[in-house]
Structure 1
Amino acid sequence: MLYRFKSKASGDVVMLQPNGKQLLEILGKDPAGPGIILPEQIPAAIKTLQDAVFEEEAELQREIQEALAREEDTPDPDRITLRVRVAPFIDLLQHSLREHTEIIWGV
């Protein structure tokens, strides 16, 4: 399954099911059905995603430090992080904010 996020302000952003579901859960949206982010909700959505990215990065640094202290292998440095996964969606949010238009999915 794919999630297709649409806005009149930019091209569609398409995500695989696990990534789109994670993004919607971070935003407190129901991943099961169609949805909308209204223009007035966009600043909070951007902040929420940025906070989640910073939290994931801090957790990764903790995991690395703990692994080094135990002289174990560190987490995979080539894994695809939340920052990379949500970057296109944050761009879509920013374009939609500038154009004062909503983002929809599942319709």
Structure 2
Amino acid sequence: DGERHAICVTWRSTGGAWQVYMDGTLKKSGFRLNLGGKVRSGGTWILAQDQDKVGGGFDPNQAFSGELSQVNLWDRVLTAAEIGTGPCGQHGNVIDWETTDIEVFG
């Protein structure tokens, strides 16, 4: 629609509960996603590109076209109230858009 949107995705390892919010409104949710999974330290976060397998390279035809801003990551699930008040003004405690060294490719 050409408008700027705030997207927030949550996931909890226990139970695999996940939620997708757009502009503070819950749009979709579910359970059993990667039950017991962990996000390990020392990795690389890839944004706006589909990688079919680890180390598998990238296909330019599968790249996101647009703008990304205020990408943050927390080590906990934000509450619906926190998401509703606009996480764009909040800083993640794992990845903070304002202070993380971000490399752009492509």
What TM bracket, shorter-length normalisation?
Answer: under 0.3
Higher relative contact order (Cα pairs below 8 Å, separated by 6+ residues): 1
TM-score by length of 2: 0.26
In terms of fraction of residues, the more helix-rich structure is 1
Larger Rg: 1
